[in-house]
Chains A and B, each alone.
Chain A
Amino acid sequence: MIETRQLTKRFGGHTAIEDVSLAVARGEVVGFLGPNGAGKTTTLRVLAGVFPPTAGEAFVGGHDVVRAPLAARRRLGYAPERPALHLEMTVAGLLEFAARLRDLAGRDARRAAVGAAVERSGLAGTEGRRIGTLSKGFRQRVGLAVALVGDPPVLLLDEPTAGLDPEQSAETRRLVRELGRDHAVLVSSHALAEVEAMADRVVILHRGRVLAADRPAALAARLRPASRVDVEATAPAPALAAALGAVSGVRRAEPIAGGNGHGRVRVEMEPGRDARPALAARVAERGWGLLALAPVETSLEEAFLALVGRGQP
């Protein structure tokens, strides 16, 4: 439903995105991840038809956004990061306007579409209120509702949880998951935990280029720089670190804080080698008591930082 091929956008001499290729199928939520300024919004804007790309192609529902802009836009709902709302209008008035622009003919069809959007985005009871009198969280919902009016099959959501409190964010993530069942959703974020919670797949963008694209778990596994374990034993930390550092298959062993009076060491192993039995044997050999030997999970955050670091010149 959403596809870009070698999408490139330059503004004067500045290249915002380069060779961005991605695809989102119906029934799928793809998280678009990257630090601020990575080109997420530019990609979404090109897809949404705000401006054409410099090179490459973008399709929404099979329609080229440049050659068949109206057909493409008829199939998409876009929610910009900063909700763009006419503050002097009422919620229902603005949604009605959106419904008319999306070619919903007939009062009943429009009323039903507005009602469904209101229901889905949790705006029930605010229909008659002026948008200017609503709180930030509700305005964000109105922005989302505008995208949902008429139930377009493609949804482009730019940081839908920006500026929301934790409860509202959770609600929005739940809604995105729910929408993902029968829509093609491309949702951007700079927060990893959020993307992990919403997306079936993640596309990581950095400095306008796609660095990686995969399922969140696979991404973390693939990028895990080296497996690590934390070892805690009844020994002074420096001595423990020295002893474990000499075990074969260990790349590095460094004392870390905590341990409650005992020594605590983080051990980084050579990729593909599991030195845990050897570590336990070495501790026993020295006559220390082994208190804990726990693998350290690599978070997507770390995987992301590793990737971004690699992407730098």
Chain B
Amino acid sequence: MRKTLVIARRELASLYGGPLAYVLGAVFLLLTGYFFWSDLVFFVLVGGANQPRGLWRYVFLDFRLVTLLVVPLLTMRLFAEERKLGTLELLWTFPVRDREVLAGKLLAVLVAFTAMLAGTLVGPGILWAFHPFPLGPLAAGYLGLFLLGVAFIGCGLAASAVTENQVVAAMLAYGVLVFSWFATWNEAAIGERVAPFLLQLSLFDHFYGFAQGVIDGRDVAYLLAFAALFVFLALRALGARAWRGVG
């Protein structure tokens, strides 16, 4: 656990030692801020009385897209950069376990992502100051967004663990995540037998409930399992150096 914190701390120092984290953070806040404002205007003009269905649903479905855009760029460098620099090879010569390295990096990105999410609270905060509203649905939406981010991060982490090229890592993560979104885009194209099954597996179908203020244990479990699967794959990818012969 102590080594995990050591790794996480260094990872954060590297992340915030360069421009990437700030640029991603700024774009994330800019886009989420714009979506919040435009969705609010829409709600005020034509949304009706149901705030969770009329406002939060749109806000979180829009935030979801921004998260999809930003997370793979946040995770792409985690292992790919270290592999290219050779620091990953050096890291394996220290008394530290693979899983501690993985956990440390995961923790660092979670911290960075949480900081970004916290920044988006400004809009709802201002709204609440002028016009208080029930906080439950908002909290559910943020929980969902956080869990969705965890799933994205798991996937991005695994993509970064298999290559030394950051662009390849980002593209792999986009490929998996966008596919798991569009797989159920057109139910006619996938056939009646497969559709319900694919629907169960679709990442984004497990987010709709949260966006409308509903926390369902199955959705929580699904998103965490999705992340765990990819973290496991990342661990295996790191272990592959036994036969691949590169750090």
Contacts and interface: CB of A to CB of B under 8 A. Distances in A.
Contacts of A88: 13-14, 17-18
Contact of B94 (A73, A85, A93): A73
B89 A50 contact: yes
Nearest to B245: A11
Given A80-B89, A98-B94, A103-B95, A50 B241 contact: yes
A82 B90 CA distance: 11
A79 to B, nearest CB: 9
A80 B247 CA distance: 11
B90 A70 contact: no
Nearest to B92: A50
Contact of A80 (B18, B86, B245): B86
Contacts of B17: 88-89
A101 B95 contact: yes
Interface string A67-78: 001110110101
Contacts, number: 78
A26 interface: no
Interface string A261-277: 00000000000000000
Contacts of B89: 45, 50, 80, 84
Contact of B6 (A42, A69, A101): A101
A73 B90 contact: no
Given A51-B241, A101-B3, A74 B86 contact: no
A98 B3 CA distance: 11
Contacts of B247: 45, 50-51
Interface string A95-119: 0011011110000000000000000
Chain A contact residues: over half helix, strand or loop, or mixed?
mixed
Contacts of B92: 48-51
Interface in A27-62: 42, 45, 48-52
Contacts of B45: none
Bin chain A's interface residue count. 20 to 34
Given A50-B241, A73-B93, A78-B93, A97 B10 contact: yes
A102 B93 contact: no
A85 B85 contact: yes
Nearest to A130: B17
Contacts of A5: none
A37 B241 CA distance: 19
Interface string B79-99: 000000111011111111100
B242 A51 contact: yes
A88 B243 CA distance: 31
A87 B14 CA distance: 9
Contacts of B91: 101
Contacts of B243: 11
A300 interface: no
A73 B87 contact: no
A136 interface: no
Q: Which of A9, A80, A86, A146 has the most CB of B within 10 A?
A: A86
B87 A101 contact: no
A2 B243 CA distance: 23
A89 B13 contact: yes
A88 B96 CA distance: 22
A264 B42 CA distance: 100
B59 to A, nearest CB: 35
A93 B85 contact: no
A203 interface: no
A97 B96 CA distance: 12
A16 interface: yes
B85 A86 contact: yes
Contact of A86 (B9, B87, B242, B244): B87
Nearest to A16: B245
Contacts of B244: 11, 51
B242 A52 contact: yes
B164 to A, nearest CB: 13
Given A73-B96, A78-B90, 4 more contacts: A82-B86, A84-B89, A89-B17, A93-B13
12 contacts: A9-B245, A11-B243, A48-B93, A51-B247, A52-B242, A73-B93, A73-B96, A80-B90, A85-B87, A86-B14, A88-B18, A100-B6
9 residue pairs, one from A and one from B, having the closest CB atoms: A84-B86, A88-B17, A48-B93, A78-B93, A101-B94, A11-B245, A74-B95, A84-B90, A73-B95
